[in-house]
Structure 1
Amino acid sequence: MGGITISPDVVNHISGNNYQCVSVKYSSKVEVIGDSKTNPPGAGYTNVTYSYPNVMSTAVCGSGYNTDTSDFDTDNTPPSLSGPVKKDFEHDPLLDPFESFFNKKRSEKSLLKSEFELVVGSIKPATDEDRCANRINNALATSSKVWVVGDCDLHGDSLGILGIPKILVFENGLVGASGSVTYDGAVYHLIDDPNFYDISLNSRWSNMTSSSFYAHLLDDNSVFFANGAFVPTGGIVFDTPGGVTTYNTSLALTYNRSFNPYAPKYKVQWLKGSWHDF
């Protein structure tokens, strides 16, 4: 159980110090069990940048863009300017997250991957020197762009050096974490293998040692589970059609555009799959 607080991206100016904010952009459904509160952009940090330029240091999200409610799903409580879930939760069923994020078509994925340091995922336990986070950190030592293929058990390790922009792509794999994962950068979780769900995912989850902390909370189509805070400051995109992403924790998300090398148009995008905050 837990709640979520978001210091969102700014995408437009309304008047005075009031701005149009985007906290979550999604194409399917968002479900929150607990409180959900949109804070002012930047959450008191300095040198924070947004999609909209020259945002005032005293910026607040306008009255129709500052969600402060609890226990909802967007199917039953769709975002509106006057409802409990405000328009900082933005529904766009037609958005192609891949092209909007990378500025490349999906047919160019192989070309895009050539810009990254490639890593094979690992589900080895937290005591193993060859665990997934160590593979990622070794790659981040020489590149700010890392592409992980396959299942990855992150446990509770930190990823990369704090304060340095970077991007981490997880492709066609389950991603699990238990504990607080520190990461300054952007994350893109991609599932585009047409056969990904043909075989039950449960046995793959059971092979991850971190899942012993959250196995009872997994859905049949869970593809990402964070049993603790995994909060990328550069934004996070879940392009996982048919999959469920779950955060089993209280979350405090603060967006800083400067930590994303690709600087996408919008902040946190939970896309083409359901998202649960338990």
Structure 2
Amino acid sequence: MNKHQQSGMTTLLITSMLLIVALLFSLASYKSLFYQIKRTQNEVLARQAHWAAEGGLECGFAAIQYTGSISGASSTFNDCEDLLNLSDVDVDNDNYINSEYLGVSNKIIKKKINLSSRLAGAIQARSDLKLVGDYDIYPDVDGLNIDGNYNCIAIRYSNKFFFERTAPGELEVFDPEQNGPYQGFPTSGKCSITHKTLLNSNTSTEDLTKNNLKKDFIYDSDFDPFESVFDNTRSELDEIKKDFEIIDGSKINCDEKIRDAFLINNKVWVSGHCDLMGGTLVGGLNKTARLLVIENGIFATYGAVEFYGMVYHLYTDPIIDMSSSWTGMHSGNTLSVDDKKKAVYFQSGAFIPVGGLVLDSPQGLSVFHSSMNFKFKGDANPNDNSNITWIKGSWHDF
């Protein structure tokens, strides 16, 4: 074999080795590239799952905002699941919205919401509250009970409560009205058995031997309905009043003055005493949500009328002996001498503010002598503040 033949073979051998090395490097590079492609595809699927789950959070949140309550929105969560191919959207007992996507990639996201809506309760009293007669209450609700029915709230109070039965009367809490607590509340909505009071004997919270009240009567010594109704603090009272038609009260023609004011504004603020008497003019207004506030005046009526709105009785002046203030109040003629000393609210008829009644007079007494069928309707309150937000630190902090 000559020198030139050996040189050609060496060249061929070196070239072959270089090609083999290049091939090995190429294979190694392609393996790494395939790995990166796979990782990229997995990341795309993971982000798709993540954004689908986040979409479930936003969909659930929008549903709650629209209905104003978790229980009212729960029936629409299935729509969120179907639209986004999610396996589950729900809200737990700690107010976390949970959104779960199960597919090629799985993702579960949970964020907490804050429900700063109005305080539940058809009647809310910071005064002592005395009911004499016969009462049927179709209550407000505050979410679902663990038994699947509703936590009905008939009366929320912070001082003393008295019920005096007049035969054959009783105080009975029924299931809420359809669309009562909020728009969309179902016909099938029932109160939990633990939230459905029936009183057929005299009851007083001063009598510790009796335990007749169920959980639809909420005692809370610290509750304050003001911010819940007005969405502002008491220190901003002047600012709050700017949204109202302000009138002076009257012991003679308060009904007429309030009616005329409501023809201008669906929010009326009465300063001073107000004898509504029969209340036929106020009761005859059309069914537009209204808010009537009586500030630092005694309020009385004997009418059997339905007012489509909320009444807020605000009494902050000192209460020593109110007897002289009842002079000239025709609607207070049947109020007892003893009750007149402390009473700042009295009704002897079935005057029913279906949007709720708030008795914000901590030192006073509110008295009812009535046969009343109180059917609560949340939509009758123009200040029904259902402010639902994400908890800070949980979502959208920018």
* Pairwise TM-score range, normalised by the shorter structure: 0.7 to 0.9
**d(CA) in 1 for partners of 2:369, 2:291:** 23
Bigger RCO (CA 8 Å, 6+ sep): 1
Match of 2:181 among 35, 50, 60: 50
Q: Does residue 156 in structure 1 map to residue 287 in structure 2?
A: no
Equivalence for 1:140: 262
**d(CA) in 2 for partners of 1:246, 1:148:** 20
Distance 1:264 1:189, change over 3 A: farther
Shift of 1:78: 9.2
Equivalence for 1:203: 324
**d(CA) in 2 for partners of 1:233, 1:102:** 18
- Corresponding residue pairs, total: 248
> AA paired with 2:268?
V
**How do 1:206-217 residues align onto structure 2 when only pairs under 5 Å count?**
206-216=327-337
What TM-score does the superposition give when structure 2 sets the normalisation length?
Answer: 0.59
**d(CA) in 2 for partners of 1:184, 1:13:** 27
Higher helix share: 2
Match of 2:370 among 240, 245, 249: 249
**d(CA) in 1 for partners of 2:330, 2:286:** 26
Distance 1:89 1:247, change over 3 A: same
Q: Sequence identity, in percent?
A: 32
Distance 1:37 1:72, change over 3 A: same
Equivalence for 1:182: 306
Shift of 1:57: 1.2
**What whole-Å deviation, never above 9, does each CA across 1:73-119 have from its counterpart, x for those lacking one?**
2233599xxx5311000111111221122111000111001110001
Higher strand share: 1
Tell me the secondary structure at the aligned position of residue 121 of structure 1: strand
Contact 1:156 1:179 in 2 (8 A): yes
- Of stretches 247-256 and 6-15 in structure 1, the one that deviates more from structure 2 is 6-15
Over aligned residues, Cα RMSD in angstroms? 2.1
Tell me the secondary structure at the aligned position of residue 241 of structure 1: coil
Shift of 1:26: 0.6
Shift of 1:13: 1.4
Equivalence for 2:33: none
**d(CA) in 2 for partners of 1:26, 1:73:** 13
- Of stretches 201-210 and 20-29 in structure 1, the one that deviates more from structure 2 is 201-210
Match of 1:97 among 197, 217, 225: 225
Shift of 1:215: 4.9
**d(CA) in 1 for partners of 2:199, 2:333:** 32
Shift of 1:188: 0.4
**d(CA) in 2 for partners of 1:238, 1:64:** 25
Distance 1:49 1:239, change over 3 A: same
**d(CA) in 1 for partners of 2:285, 2:209:** 38
Q: Which structure 2 segments of 5+ residues have no match?
A: 1-131, 387-398
**d(CA) in 2 for partners of 1:5, 1:78:** 25
Equivalence for 2:16: none
**d(CA) in 2 for partners of 1:37, 1:162:** 29
Q: Which structure 1 segments of 5+ residues have no match?
A: 125-130, 266-278
Higher Cα radius of gyration: 2
